[in-house]
Amino acid sequence: MRLPMRLATKCLLLFGGAVVFIVLAAMSGPWLRMTDLIDDGQIELSRELMITWERLENELADGDRTLALPGTPEESHPVSRGGIIAQRFTPAQINALNPPDEFLSRALERFNDNPSLEDLQEARWSGTARVYRYVKAVRSQAAPGEPARVTGVVLLRRPTFEAFRLLWVNGVFLLGAAVAVLGMALLVFYVITQGLILRPVRILKATTQRVREGNVAVRADIRTGDEFQDLAETINMMLSDMQAKQERLRALNTAMDVKLHELAESNSALHDTARMKGEFLANVSHELRTPLNSIIGFAELLLEQARAEADKPDAPPSVARRIRYLSNIDTAGRNLLTHINSLLEMARIEAGKVDLRLERMNLRDACEGLLGLIQPLADRKGIALTLEVADDVPNVITDPKKFQQIIFNFLSNAVKFIEPAEKTGREGRIIVRVERLVAARPGEEDRVRVCVIDNGPGIGEEHRERIFEKFYQADSAHTKEHMGTGLGLSICRELANILRCELQLDSAPGRGSMFSLIMPEAIEEGAAIEGTLEAKFRGSLSSGREWS
């Protein structure tokens, strides 16, 4: 995790480190050149000392080859204590040294290889002293046209503290110059970064902080003539647009508040209207059922009497006409009673007053009973009924009445919309198929599917999505020919949701339809109550009544 670091600190560390590196790199050249100049001066001094030694050596009568030079501070010091020593060596002596002297051996080799080379020097540090070893070649007289032969070398060993002093003094001056340059560079950099970079950044930060607090009227005042000024102007334009949008939003919010108040009043009026409509529908439906039951009852009674009179040999021709009229009254009354029952059933579902009675049910027996109920209607239109139940279908736990209501509605629609064989040239057929659906993935429960399959006219794709909506029928021609309110399939959908089931439709024009009810093997009471509440909520949304 990175530690937070201020922009000024980052600039100081990065650019300060770069300046230090540049200054040190720039001072390294003068330091190296200064060292070379000091060594070159010491070489000249060694040459002068060597010339002095050779002149003194020629003046000595005894021929002593090892001599401490006069006139030097180390004149009385022995060789082991660092005095200036001059000594002559022959090639054999150089090769016989133990341990070997690499400097003398390398000098002898270079003198032999290069006849024009006269001297070499080596410099080493010994503590605070700089020890210079200067060697000069001694060559024999050669015949004209022949190179001179190296007969020996003269070694001058000279330790000195002057080189260290010069290096120390010059190093102090260089270091002071580096520190001064570094200080001036950092000072200039600090002034530039504070004025050109950090000050605009602080202004922009303060501006954005005030915008974050909700003040969009603030503006960034930066006049540097560079990208910071461009950025500040862009931010100012953005704030101006934001302020204008906020003002428009305030105006829209004010208008929306007015509209919401009007909608609330309209919603309250609609709520009262919907409540009055529901109460009127429920009252009228209940009030209509009583006289309708009387009308149907008396029509059936009169129909039985008319049929009894028609069986007599001396029955007048008007009896057949009376039977036909009474049959129409009975049929119309029963259809009207069915519509009223559908309206009452939908009203109960939307009110959340559906009672559930969960029982164990045998699907084969339930479907056989439903086929027995629909058989008379199917026989009138010449429709064949078939029941197909798989052997592995288990008993299910559900509400038998709600299940029978859904399947019977499917069967009623199939019988109602299948055309007679006289019109289509083919026999109508309805198949009720019951099968078990095994779970495809582990952890899922097995389910049961009950299908009602017919070879009727079918349903177009444009109607399949809306066929389960309230008061919707697929074809206006069917609406005229087949009486109905369009609530049957909507009631089936709501009851299926209450029973935690799923409805599926597979149909195409001219190929018939297949309505499927996919149900769990067992439904828990808590899940059923949840389905009832969902149905109540959806009904309240669609009707405009308050859900409570």
Residues 380-404: pLDDT tens digits?
888 999 999 998 899 999 989 989 9
Residue 79: band (very low, low, confident or very high) from pLDDT cuts 50, 70, 90: very low
> How would you classify the pairing of strands 383-389 and 428-437?
parallel
The predicted structure's pLDDT at residue 67: 44
**CA dist 454 → 319, 403, 434, 487, 513 (Å):** 38, 19, 15, 20, 6
**CA dist 400 → 9, 163, 370, 371 (Å):** 80, 117, 11, 15
In the DSSP assignment, the letter for residue 546 is P
Q: Which residue has the higher pLDDT, 10 or 504?
A: 504
494-517: per-residue pLDDT in tens?
Answer: 888 888 899 999 888 888 899 999
The predicted structure's pLDDT at residue 453: 93
The predicted structure's pLDDT at residue 71: 36
CATH dotted code for 356-543? 3.30.565.10
The predicted structure's pLDDT at residue 490: 83
The predicted structure's pLDDT at residue 407: 92
Within 13 Å, how many C-alpha atoms sit on residue 162's CB side?
A: 10
Token digits of residue 518: 């996919």
Place of tokens 């056989």: 368
The predicted structure's pLDDT at residue 12: 72
Q: Which residue has the higher pLDDT, 157 or 525?
A: 157
Q: What is the C-alpha separation between 37 and 510, in angstroms, rounded?
A: 112
Percent of the chain with pLDDT over 90: 12
Name the nearest CA neighbour of 163 among 36, 352, 254: 36
Name the nearest CA neighbour of 170 among 21, 33, 19, 44: 33
Q: What is the C-alpha separation between 432 and 427, in angstroms, rounded?
A: 17
Q: Which residue has the higher pLDDT, 250 or 274?
A: 250
CATH dotted code for 7-139+148-170? 3.30.450
418-471: per-residue pLDDT in tens?
Answer: 888 777 778 889 999 999 988 878 878 889 999 999 988 888 777 777 787 776
The predicted structure's pLDDT at residue 282: 62
The predicted structure's pLDDT at residue 387: 93
Q: Averaged over 7-28, what is the pLDDT?
A: 77
The predicted structure's pLDDT at residue 1: 47
The single-letter code of the amino acid at 79 is V
Q: Averaged over 466-477, what is the pLDDT?
A: 66
Q: Averaged over 111-125, what is the pLDDT?
A: 84
The predicted structure's pLDDT at residue 198: 78
Q: What is the C-alpha separation between 68 and 50, in angstroms, rounded?
A: 12
Residue 367: band (very low, low, confident or very high) from pLDDT cuts 50, 70, 90: very high
Residue 189: band (very low, low, confident or very high) from pLDDT cuts 50, 70, 90: confident
Global pTM?
0.47
Q: Which of 245-259, 271-285, 318-332, 356-370 has the lowest mean pLDDT?
A: 271-285
Q: Which residue has the higher pLDDT, 157 or 534?
A: 157
The predicted structure's pLDDT at residue 532: 62
Cα–Cα–Cα angle for 343, 344, 347, rounded to 5 degrees:
90
The predicted structure's pLDDT at residue 63: 46
The number of beta carbons lying within 10 Å of the beta carbon of residue 395 is 15
Q: Which residue has the higher pLDDT, 228 or 209?
A: 209
Q: Which of 112-116, 126-130, 171-175 has the lowest mean pLDDT?
A: 126-130
273-329: per-residue pLDDT in tens?
Answer: 766 766 666 666 667 777 878 888 888 888 888 888 887 887 787 888 888 888 888
The predicted structure's pLDDT at residue 271: 75
The number of beta carbons lying within 10 Å of the beta carbon of residue 35 is 17
**For the chain, how big is the Rg over CA atoms in Å?**
59
In the DSSP assignment, the letter for residue 313 is T
Residue 477: band (very low, low, confident or very high) from pLDDT cuts 50, 70, 90: very low
In the DSSP assignment, the letter for residue 149 is P
The predicted structure's pLDDT at residue 539: 55
Name the nearest CA neighbour of 292 among 238, 344, 337, 234: 337
Q: Which of 331-340, 438-447, 517-526 has the lowest mean pLDDT?
A: 331-340
Cα–Cα–Cα angle for 56, 57, 61, rounded to 5 degrees:
105
**Is-contact 295 333, C-beta < 8 A?**
yes
The predicted structure's pLDDT at residue 212: 85
**Is-contact 209 220, C-beta < 8 A?**
no
Token digits of residue 141: 């007289």
Place of tokens 């060596």: 89
Q: What is the C-alpha separation between 306 and 325, in angstroms, rounded?
A: 11
| 213 pLDDT higher than 70 | yes
Written as one string, the DSSP assignment of 258-290 is HHHHHHHHHHHHHHHHHHHHHHHHHHHHHHHHH
The per-residue pLDDT of the chain, averaged, comes to 79
For the chain, give every domain's residue range. Answer: 7-139+148-170, 217-350, 356-543
The single-letter code of the amino acid at 538 is R
The answer, yes or no, to whether the previous bond of 4 is cis (omega within 30 of 0) is no
**Is-contact 447 518, C-beta < 8 A?**
yes
Residue 43: band (very low, low, confident or very high) from pLDDT cuts 50, 70, 90: confident
Cα–Cα–Cα angle for 279, 285, 288, rounded to 5 degrees:
135
The single-letter code of the amino acid at 271 is H
Q: Which of 63-77, 100-114, 180-194, 292-306 has the lowest mean pLDDT?
A: 63-77
List, in sequence order, every residue forming a beta bridge with 119; answer none if it has no partner: 136
Q: Who contacts 4 (Cβ-Cβ below 8 Å, separation ≥6)?
A: none
Backbone phi, psi, residue 449, to 5°: -115, 130
| 218 pLDDT higher than 50 | yes
| 149 pLDDT higher than 90 | no
Q: Who contacts 280 (Cβ-Cβ below 8 Å, separation ≥6)?
A: none
Written as one string, the DSSP assignment of 352-389 is T------EEE-HHHHHHHHHHHHHHHHHHTTEEEEEEE
